[in-house]
Amino acid sequence: MSARTCGLMLQTLLIVALVAPLSAAQAGSARFGDYHIHYAAQPTAGLSPEVAQQYGIVRSRAQAMVIISVRENDAPVPARVSGGVQTDSGQQRDIRFRRVEAGGAVNYVGTFRAKHMETLNFQLEVFPETAQRNYPVRFRETFYMD
């Protein structure tokens, strides 16, 4: 198994551990030239207690999380991630991101308050360390906080 394949598998395992089950999460990606930005969002209540404790995430029916990873030509790239969410009524909520590393993968995790059946518009800015500019990541997610 190549180092690249091993790195991709480890990153995938971390993302699956954090956002499992993926069927309950909004997951996607955006490509900007050589940069591929992956994102996933879900309620934190769906995390196992062990994973939540390991990554310092509070499990709650009133809290959700978003995970960002950045790759350049299939290699993980450190980045600055900032932004927030906006409700359909226009209320803004900032998200503070922190870096989480596991097995060579670099991910950024941010948590925020969310309500059952609330639709949030994500407005994030990702600035890869090796880039000359930031990249906007926009997506919409409805949260089911069972």
Residue 96's pLDDT is what? Answer: 96
**pLDDT tens digits, 100-136:** 987 778 899 999 999 999 999 999 999 999 999 999 9
Q: Which two tokens stand for residue 14?
A: 């971390």
Report the distance separating Cα 65 and Cα 40, nearest Å. Answer: 8
Rounded mean pLDDT of 19-42?
77
Structural domain of residue 68, as residue ranges? 3-143
CB 19 within 8 A of CB 42: yes
pLDDT at residue 10 tops 50: no
Residue 52's pLDDT is what? Answer: 87
pLDDT at residue 98 tops 90: yes
125 φ/ψ angles, rounded to the nearest 5 degrees: -125, 130
Q: Residue 98 is part of a domain; what is its CATH number?
A: 2.60.40.3340
Number of domains in the chain: 1
